[in-house]
Structure 1
Amino acid sequence: MQTVPCMEFVGEANDNKDKSSSSGSLRLWSQWQLLDSILPTGGFAHSFGLEAAMQARLVISPEDLRTYVIHVLENTGSLLLPFVYAAAMSPDTQTWHKLDRLLNAMLTNEVGRKASIAQGSALMRVAASVFSEIPSLKMMRSEALSSGAVSFHHAPIFGLVCGLLGFEAETTQKAYMFVTMRDVISAATRLNLVGPLGAAVLQHQVAPIAEDLSTKWMNRAVEEACQTCPLLDTVQGCHSYLFSRLFCS
């Protein structure tokens, strides 16, 4: 005898399916907004040391620029991706504070440290205002500001925000690599190292390498965080000594 499913149960299943689909779609919109260059987090005020490298004649040709972008991504993956991953997996106040203090101790030059704090502070302020459906973001920011317990470094905050928004760990880490690539290539455009069309071509060409680097450094513990291209860190540390400069770092 064929069993006819109860219409009430079918209706509930459909409702749950619709809610799940709607939630996933809204999560995608939040993800796109977080990656949008219009989000006022101050990323375009920082060149990841590219301006200093250009004035030091380390970056002259398009091939030099391509190599520099790849090295920036390698450093980002090896040093910062573990912090993004840890914060995304445990998006709570205690983990965030611990990661922030550890990263503050690990960043070796003052220029890079200030850039990380400036971008992280801006991201936390924007996220707390934009993603109002997550009241804990505003509460965590207010408590941290009043206590002075954290420096607001960018990588842990990015992971924290993505974790609270419900993004998958893999998506979060690749997103962080993407915004890094986007910002350094944007800086190259503003420095007239490459035109807008050339920048788009470069980003597309580097994307497979960024994918490989993301896979290489993904899901690592913060105890494994390290610098793989120390020359870039040295160059960025010299940024504040430039006679004239367009970017903050």
Structure 2
Amino acid sequence: MPQLARLLHLADSALPTGSFAYSYGLESSLTFGLLRTETEFRAYLYSFLQQAVEFELPFVTSAATVADGDLGALLAEYDAQLLTPALYQASLTQGKNWLKLLATFYPEAGLAELGYNLAQHKLPAHFVPLFGLSLGKAGFVVADIQLTYLHLALRDQLSAAIRLGFIGPMAGHLLQHDFYGIFESLLVSADIRPYTEATRCTFLLDVAQLLHDNIYSRLFQN
């Protein structure tokens, strides 16, 4: 029970990690008419979560159990895979915030020293791999780490949709409740796929993220 309570705390939307500052392409998708109906939004969410499972979760999973000598290669591979400049910078900012926060919560995990070593060796401290790495060092099991990451990805997208006025709060929370039902099927193979087999499967999301800078008035940064 204590571990569950701590994970619930780390998934709290009030935690100052910076995720609520970004829409990850949702705002530009709505602005430029790529999403117009709730049916299209449901399909978008499923694609977004599919990419989280196919691309981000292999890095989260591998980082949670990585040996110190292999960490540099993992971080370099993730760094090379980020194609959108705004998201690249956002990832580094969130990674820095997350590691600082977790180092405060779990001083015994050696995360402050990890942050120092990353800076010393000029390794990119991206949020996704550091999410898995830090929670692994803090003693959480891989399955719970995976589920928490997927929950965060879904929650942040639905929160962005609500703040943008595309859906109402009740509709958003109903969608969140419904999508929990497909988490198990999405996670079936996530625990056995290493980061070297991570794939990007929704390139239209990258296009939407690149279009963000063309929005005249923006609520989110990217």
Confirm whether residue 59 of structure 1 aligns to residue 35 of structure 2. yes
Rg larger for: 1
**For 1:1-249, what aligned pairs fall within 5 Å after superposition?**
25-90=1-66, 93-134=68-109, 136-145=110-119, 147=120, 149-249=122-222
SS in structure 2 of the partner of residue 75 of structure 1 = helix
Q: Which residue identity lines up with residue 56 of structure 2 in the other structure?
A: L
State the Cα distance separating 1:200 from its structure 2 match. Answer: 0.6
Q: What's the C-alpha RMSD, in Å, of the aligned pairs?
A: 1.5
Deviations 1:131-177 (A, max 9, x none): 2232x1011112323x2522211111010111012111111111111
SS in structure 2 of the partner of residue 238 of structure 1 = helix
Asked if the contact 1:177–1:214 (Cα under 8 Å) also holds between the matched residues in 2, the reply is no
Deviations 1:55-108 (A, max 9, x none): 110112111221111111111111111100011112x54433322111010112
For residues 148 and 238 of structure 1, do their structure 2 counterparts lie closer, same or farther at Cα, with a shift above 3 Å needed? farther
State the Cα distance separating 1:178 from its structure 2 match. Answer: 0.8
Q: Which residue identity lines up with residue 121 of structure 1 in the other structure?
A: K
- Aligned residue pairs, count: 222
SS in structure 2 of the partner of residue 215 of structure 1 = coil
In structure 2, C-alpha distance between the alignment counterparts of 1:148 and 1:223, rounded to whole Å: 22
TM-score calculated relative to the size of structure 1: 0.84
Q: Which residue identity lines up with residue 42 of structure 1 in the other structure?
A: G
State the Cα distance separating 1:32 from its structure 2 match. Answer: 1.6
Deviations 1:103-126 (A, max 9, x none): 010112212222222221211111
In structure 1, C-alpha distance between the alignment counterparts of 2:143 and 2:70, rounded to whole Å: 19
Asked if the contact 1:48–1:72 (Cα under 8 Å) also holds between the matched residues in 2, the reply is no
Q: Which residue identity lines up with residue 240 of structure 1 in the other structure?
A: D
In structure 2, C-alpha distance between the alignment counterparts of 1:217 and 1:28, rounded to whole Å: 21
- More moved, 25-34 vs 57-66: 25-34
**Uncovered stretches (5+) of structure 1, i.e. residues with no partner:** 1-24
Counterpart of 1:10 in structure 2 is: none
SS in structure 1 of the partner of residue 108 of structure 2 = coil
Asked if the contact 1:112–1:237 (Cα under 8 Å) also holds between the matched residues in 2, the reply is no
- Quick one: percent identity of the two aligned structures? 32
TM-score calculated relative to the size of structure 2: 0.94
